[in-house]
Amino acid sequence: MSFSGTVSCGYCGQQGHNRRSCPELKKVIAKRLEENPDDAYAKWHKEKQANGKIRRCTYCNKKGHNRRTCAELAERKQEWREKAASWRLKFARWCVENGVGPGALIEVRNWSNTPQTRMVNNYYWLTLNHEDQWDTNYPAGAITHLALNLQRNTYATSRLPKVPDMVGTKDGYHASDGILRIVSPVPVTEEMFMKAAPQWWKDGYDAPDELKDRFKNRQSPNHYDNGFEDFN
């Protein structure tokens, strides 16, 4: 619409109508379909004209449902939970076998690569999953710890050491065996570990929001191709 309040067509440029009702565009579409009944663009345009805006799922880009009821998205989330559960079991066993729990002493390196002995405070549950630790070049912090000088009661977070089948398979920022070293372990049992773990973590979710935030902006690998499914 122009500043004068007159509608202008985005296709032919004439005033008094818009692209949706443009007679010239309708002629072009009709001619394209006459010459080639399988013309993908012409078929799409004709369907859009008949049905108004074509609503599609924002995840898979298919019609007939929305993101909330998308079967493919539900399947991807279930796969994420299964992979997370498998990784978390490995992590729990590693903590038990190596005595990594609150009170354990570890050696970490600061920004200047200087070793420091600190005390494990907790696990950083939000990042303890396969995606943030395994399927990435940049594993996230996993263990929180305190300085032995308790005059400054602040904690820091360190990444895990390079543990086979648990921490990043890719070469990148994590590739240093000196990130975290266990100096003085503490007794950790599987029962103790699971008692400390949040329920959402044990249920295979990403956080209390049940994976909503992690998948919020994700799209199906076939999102683009699915937009043309009706024209094949």
The reply to whether 97 and 192 lie within a common domain is yes
| pLDDT at position 10 | 80
> Which value, to the nearest 10 degrees, does the dihedral of the CA atoms of residues 80, 83, 88, 93 take?
180
Element (H, E) at 109: strand 105-109
The two counts, helices (H) then strands (E), for the chain are 7, 5
CA–CA gap between residue 32 and residue 217 (Å, rounded)? 37
Q: What is the pLDDT along the chain (232 residues), one digit of tens a residue?
A: 444 457 788 878 888 888 777 888 888 888 888 888 888 887 777 776 665 566 889 999 998 899 999 999 999 999 999 999 999 999 999 999 999 999 999 998 777 778 889 999 999 999 999 989 887 777 888 999 988 876 555 778 888 887 877 887 555 544 444 578 899 999 999 999 999 999 999 888 877 777 888 999 999 999 988 887 765 4
**Phi and psi (nearest 5°) for 6?**
-95, 130
- Please indicate, yes or no, if residue 13 is contained in any of the structural domains: no
| pLDDT at position 62 | 92
pTM of the model: 0.70
CA–CA distance from 109 to each of 138, 147, 180 (Å)?
17, 12, 7
- Please indicate, yes or no, if residue 95 is contained in any of the structural domains: yes
The reply to whether 51 and 93 lie within a common domain is no
CA angle 136/138/142 to nearest 5° reads 100
CA–CA gap between residue 158 and residue 57 (Å, rounded)? 39
* Residue among 88, 173, 169 nearest 126 (CA): 88
- Please indicate, yes or no, if residue 10 is contained in any of the structural domains: no
- Please indicate, yes or no, if residue 75 is contained in any of the structural domains: no
The reply to whether 59 and 90 lie within a common domain is no
**Phi and psi (nearest 5°) for 122?**
-170, 180
Task: Please give the tally of structural domains in the chain.
Answer: 2
The reply to whether 91 and 172 lie within a common domain is yes
Residue 38: domain span: 19-69+221-231
